[in-house]
Structure formats: C-alpha cells, structure tokens
Amino acid sequence: MSFVEVRNVSHSFGSENVLNQIQLSVEKGKIFGLLGPSGAGKTTLVNMMIGILTPNRGEIYIDSKKVPSFDVIDMTGYMAQSDALYQELTARENLEFIGSIYGLKSSDLKKRINAVMETVNLIDHLDKPVEKYSGGMKRRLSLATALLHEPKLLILDEPTVGIDPVLRKEIWDEFRNLQRNGITIIVTTHVMDEAEKCDELGLLRDGVLMAQGSPSELKEEYQSDSIEDVFLSVGGVK
Amino acid sequence: MRVFAIVKRIARQMKRDRRSLALMMIAPLFVLTLIWLVVDGDDYEPKIVYDNLPDPIVESLEEHTGELTTGSEEEAVQLMQDGEYDAYLSIDDQAPHILLEGSEPSINSAVMRAVQDSLKSFDSSSQLNEHVVEYLYGSAELNLFDRIGPVLIGFFVFFFVFILGGISFLRERTHGTLEKLLSTPIRRWELVSGYVLGFGFFTIIQSLFIVTFAIYVLDMYMVGLFWELLLVTILLAMTALSLATLLSTFAKNEFQIMQFIPIVIIPQVFFAGLFNLETLDQWIQVISKFMPLTYGAEALQQMMIRGAHIQDVWFEILVLLCFAFVFFVLNIRVLRGHRTL
Ligand SMILES: Nc1ncnc2c1ncn2[C@@H]1O[C@H](COP(=O)(O)OP(=O)(O)OP(=O)(O)O)[C@@H](O)[C@H]1O
Ligand SMILES: [Mg+2]
C-alpha cells in the first residue's frame, strides 16, 4: 500500500460534480504535484486528504489509516490556499498558538519557531503583527505554520503564489531538504515550471484525473517537450 | 492544554483590539448611565390653574404642585394651549372639576395624584388615623430604575457578549483559521470550550464592571449578595456566548450577525421583564419561557430587590445552565459539518 491512497473519490457540491472517481497514490518520500487549472478541484481534493471535507463517495488512506484520523492529522502539516493567520497577532504569537495546539513544549517551541522562520526567511519580522505583512510574507508565514511541528506529510495548497522567483527557488530547495529527511510532500499548483520539479504529477481537469506519472514519463507518453504541452494534449486542445 | 492555548490567543487578540474591549467594558456603563439619567428623575410636580377652591385645598395643593395660580377657565385654557400649565381645577356643584392638558400620560397621572392627595386631606370627615404603609420587599424609594435595573444589567451582559462572541467566531470561519484549526489535532469540544473560557474571562470582568457601577455609582437598589449576583451574570454571559457562536454558523458576514439583534436580542428585552407580562396574552408569556434572558433577569430581580439567594433562584439558574449546555453541545455538533472527527 502506498503512503497516500485516494480510492475512487467522487464529490459534488449540490448538483455540481466537482470530483469524479479520483484514483491516485503517492509513495513515501516523494514530492507529488497536483496540477490543474483554476476550478479543477485541487483544493477540494487536498481538503479531503487532511480530513476537513468528507467525500460523498470513496475513501482516502494515509499511512494505512483511513482519513479522517487523529493519527494522520498529528503527522500532517497543512497550508491552506488562503492565509489562515490571526491578523492582530504577531508572527511569533501565531506560531506559538499553532505550536501549543500541536502540544510542543515551550523550549522546543522556541527552537522550532526560529528554525521555521529561518527557513521562510522571515526571522527579522518575527515580532511584527501579521496585518503589517505583505501578501508574500503572509504566504511564507502560512508555510512556516505548516512546518512547525515537523510533520511527516506536508499538504500545501499553492504554497508559492505571490512569492518571487528567488525565494521560490529557496523554498523548493527546502522542499528537497525535507524530502531527504523522508518527508512526503503534496503540493497543488498551476505553475508549469514548478510542476517540472515534482517527482510525480497528477493532472486534474474538471474534477477528472487525466494522467499520473513523473514529468519525464508524462512527456514521453504524450510526446511533448514540456508539461505545458502535455497538459494541452490531455485536455484535447492540440 | 489546547483549551488553554485558545484562551490565551483570545486574550491576546482582545488586548490588541482596544476598541472592542472598550465596547464590552465601557459601553454598557455609558448606556446604563443614560437610562439612569432619563428614568431616575424626581417625581414630576404638575403645574395647576385653580378657580373657586376652599383655602384648605389650596394650601394642600401648594405642597403637591410645582406651580399654582388662580384664574378663570378661559385663562387656564389659554395657558394650557401655550404649554405653560398642565391642568385646571375648580369645584362646580360640590364636585371637583378637572380639565387636563392631556397630551402626556405621565403628567396626567401626576396631576390626578396631586389633586387626589389634596382633596383627601381636605375631606377629614373620616377621622381614621393616617394609614401605615410597610414594605415586604423594596422600599418607598424604589423607583422605575430600580425595578428595571436588574433586567438592564442582564440585557447588557447578554447583548455585548453576543455581539463580540458572534463576530469573533464568525471571523474564525471567514478568515479560514477555523479550517486551519480543524487541520490540527484539536478536538471540537476543545475548540468550543476554549472560546467559552476565553471570552468567559472577559465576561467576568465585564460583569464586575457593570454590577459594581450600577450598585455603587448609580445607586441601584440592591439587597442581595454581590458575588451571587455576579454568578448569575456570568452564567447569563456564557449562555449568550454559546448562543452567539452557534448562530454565527448561519451568518456569512458581520452584517448578518447584526441581523440577529432584532430577531434574537430585542424580543428578549421586551419579554424578559422590562414590562409586566402578567396582563398580556398567554402566548407571549409562553414565548418568554423560551428565552434565556427571562430567567437571568428574573433571578437578578429576585436577588437585587427581594434579597434572594442562590438556593432561592435555583430553578432559574438550572434553566440557564441547561440553555448553556444545550448550546454548547449544538456548537460541537455544528462543527461536524467541517470535520466529522
Ligand atoms: N464550498 C463550496 N461550495 C460549492 N462549490 C464549491 C465549494 N468549494 C469549491 N466549489 C466548487 O468546486 C470546484 C472546484 O473548486 P476548487 O476550490 O477545488 O478548485 P481549485 O482547483 O482549487 O481551483 P483554484 O486553482 O482556483 O484554487 C469549483 O467549481 C468551485 O466552484
Ligand atoms: Mg484551490
């Protein structure tokens, strides 16, 4: 059994069919990219993985445990598409809050806060209220809250939106770092050059998983030079 | 421990949001003072024009009126039209005749009281002694402000906690932090408890402010025990808070929280003891039985005016506890919509 297994998941909001019979699996220690245009159902799918949305049909297993499960939640770090931060509080206070929810001891917590803020390059802004942060800074702080409790699985919904190329590269280097420590990462994106950096890709369109495989496999299969072309051809545009 | 993390966070947020804190602490005192100024005035002394009255009555009238003058009926009518006098009194055919200006009910009754008192002292044919009035509860000084005071205290506690708690929980939902929280190992009951305790801390301070101010500054009538009163207001605040977080589920934004005020809050003030309901239709009395404020206000009134203790109002306290408990459980249930675990 793979680390993450999505089995036959379908979901609809009212009469709108948002996900259709999704089957996918992610191996431990891989960076898995969920690629798809706006409205494809990426957020819906990752919310199901973390357990804050229950699919109408099908089930999801993570580390052999059926979602939702507190065991899974304990080992997962989640970064939502919108920055879920307390605006009045400083970055440190936001992190202290999330850290104590995960039950980190205060001495550990201090070290972890410094470490994750170092990672996202915000260590100089630790005591600034979040409402004074720029959009990209908030994005990075959200990422920091997901990394705080050293999760084994990271689920990141468009983590690099609004972040400049230099910092984006640094963040991807950090993902590689985490991966070397055996951490599995699931990211959603609609940026093609980011897709190329993933170990595995799932192409999602209108709630249907069109293809799954490594970037090179996909390019070979569809005889294209870039993921962008793969995407266009599976979409039937070519 | 996670409950405590939420409590701490709410405290920090409140500390930053000085305006909301002021709204919660100062605004009730301000409004209470306004009501006190309006309601707690001295009794109105009517201004009366008289004609053709025996001297003893005039003497007695002088004691009971603000202004007293003699004049003909025509002159009196003119004075009343100009708004300077309130009534005209004369005796025609052995019967007192009163012409009232009539546009203000409270002045009408003030005139009638003054006239009756004067005529009574004149009619000394009955040689009974001055009657003795004693009060089982309250005193002769008990006025409207003292009577509605307990209801007002209950109302302010309820109102401001409802608004702040409702909006705060709504923000948690609309800003995505609720989802973030539910992606962490926090249990649903811990989240709700954290909210109740976090705001509970501030409602204790708020209750302390309001009760202290009402009793020691505005001199509201109070024969009960201070701490027992505080216990009831805090319980009422908890009920308001858990109702607010529950109803915030059905609101999409702050404005929709405000829409609950005329539906949920205002009827409670009207039906929970501000007016005497005993003369009203049965169905209104039945409705009032479903409102938390009814029980809170009743308990407060019993304590402040009749000196009741906790054990005397155990029923009201029990009902409030039930309300709070039911709302609390419903809150936890509603969160299942976000995470079934
Ligand atoms: N709570 C909801 N109620 C109703 N419809 C919803 C809800 N959430 C999402 N949808 C619908 O489901 C579809 C998929 O939405 P989703 O947010 O998963 O897309 P996405 O792939 O994450 O898009 P984006 O890249 O823009 O974030 C959309 O058509 C959206 O309108
Ligand atoms: Mg999305």
Give the C-alpha distances (Å, rounded to integers) separating B181 from A9, A51, B300.
24, 12, 38
Alpha-carbon Rg of chain B, whole angstroms?
Answer: 27
pLDDT of residue A238: 43
CB of A141 closer than 8 Å to CB of A94: yes
Chain B residues with CB under 8 Å of A143 CB are none
**SS3 labels along A142-205:** HHHHHHCCCCCEEEEECCCCCCCHHHHHHHHHHHHHHHHCCCEEEEEECCHHHHHCCCEEEEEE
Quick check: A73 and B175 CB within 8 A? no
CB of B197 closer than 8 Å to CB of B247: no
Residue of A16, A20, A35 with the most ligand 1 atoms within 8 Å of its CB, for mutation: A16
**What is the bridge-based pairing of β-strands A208-213 and B67-70?**
unpaired
Reference B149, options B44, B203, B229; nearest CA is: B229
Q: How confident is the model at residue A231 (pLDDT cuts 50, 70, 90)?
A: confident
Reference B159, options B293, B288, B272, B277; nearest CA is: B293
Reference B323, options B291, B301, B288, B287; nearest CA is: B291
Residue matched to tokens 């799932």: A202
Percent share of chain A, pLDDT over 90: 40
Cβ–ligand 1 distance for A42 under 6 Å, the answer yes
Ligand 1 centroid to residue A195 C-alpha, Å: 20
pLDDT of residue A205: 86
Q: Between A228 and B171, whose confidence is greater?
A: B171
Give the gap in angstroms from C-alpha A237 to the nearest C-alpha of chain B. 36
The whole model's pTM is what? Answer: 0.83
Q: Average pLDDT, stretch A180-192?
A: 89
| Closest residue to B339, CB basis, from A52, A88, A103 | A52
Chain A residues with CB under 8 Å of B182 CB are 51-52
Cβ–ligand 1 distance for A36 under 6 Å, the answer yes
Among protein residues, the one with the nearest Cα to ligand 1's atom 6 is: A13
Ramachandran bin of A18, using left for φ above 0, alpha for ψ from -120 to 50, beta for the remaining angles = alpha
pLDDT of residue B71: 86
Between the CA atoms of B68, B74, B75 and B81, what dihedral angle is there, to the nearest 10 degrees? 90
Cβ–ligand 1 distance for A186 under 6 Å, the answer no
Query: What value of ipTM does the predicted structure carry?
Result: 0.90
Closest ligand to residue A47's CA? 1
User: What is the residue extent of each domain of chain A?
Assistant: 2-83+153-234
Cβ neighbour number for residue A75 with a 10 Å cutoff = 18
CA A171: distance to chain centroid?
A: 13
Phi/psi at B41 (5° precision): -65, 165
Give the gap in angstroms from C-alpha A166 to the nearest C-alpha of chain B. 28
Among protein residues, the one with the nearest Cα to ligand 1's atom 16 is: A41
User: What is the residue extent of each domain of chain B?
Assistant: 47-135, 144-337
pLDDT of residue B330: 93
Note the pLDDT tens digit of each residue in A6-29. Answer: 999 999 998 888 998 989 999 998
Q: Residues in chain A, how many?
A: 238
Note the pLDDT tens digit of each residue in A119-166. Answer: 888 999 999 999 999 888 899 999 999 999 999 999 999 988 878 888
Residue matched to tokens 């470490």: A115
Cβ–ligand 1 distance for A30 under 6 Å, the answer no
CB of A51 closer than 8 Å to CB of A73: yes
Chain A residues with CB under 8 Å of B185 CB are 70, 73-74, 101-103
Note the pLDDT tens digit of each residue in A23-72. Answer: 999 999 899 999 888 888 899 999 999 988 889 999 999 988 888 889 99
Amino acid at B57: I
CB of A182 closer than 8 Å to CB of A28: yes
Cβ–ligand 1 distance for A18 under 6 Å, the answer yes
Ramachandran bin of B149, using left for φ above 0, alpha for ψ from -120 to 50, beta for the remaining angles = alpha
Amino acid at A184: T
Residue A210: enclosing H or E segment and its boundaries? Answer: strand A208-213
Question: Distance between CA A191 and CA A200 in Å, rounded?
Answer: 15
Nearest CA in chain A to B339: A52
Q: Which residues of B touch A (CB under 8 A)?
A: 1-2, 4-5, 8-9, 12-13, 16-17, 175-177, 179-186, 338-341
pLDDT in tens, chain B (341 residues): 899 999 999 999 988 888 888 888 888 899 889 988 887 666 788 888 888 888 888 888 888 888 888 888 888 888 888 888 888 888 877 778 888 888 888 888 888 888 888 877 666 555 556 667 787 877 777 777 788 888 888 888 888 888 888 888 898 989 889 999 999 999 999 999 998 888 888 888 888 888 899 888 988 888 888 888 889 998 998 899 999 999 998 888 888 888 888 888 888 888 777 777 777 778 877 888 888 998 998 899 888 888 888 888 899 999 999 999 999 999 999 988 888 88
Closest ligand to residue A36's CA? 1
Question: Distance between CA A165 and CA A186 in Å, rounded?
Answer: 20
Question: Rounded to a whole number, what is the largest CA-CA distance in chain B?
Answer: 90
Quick check: B340 and A54 CB within 8 A? yes
The pair of three-digit structure tokens given for residue A123, joined into one six-digit string: 């260590």
Among protein residues, the one with the nearest Cα to ligand 1's atom 7 is: A13
Asked if the C-beta of A85 comes within 8 angstroms of chain B's C-beta atoms, the answer is yes
Query: What's the CATH number for A2-83+153-234?
Result: 3.40.50.300
Quick check: A86 and B13 CB within 8 A? yes
- Index of the ligand 1 atom closest to the CA of residue A40: 21
> In terms of CATH architecture, what is B47-135?
3-Layer(aba) Sandwich (3.40)
Quick check: A68 and B176 CB within 8 A? no
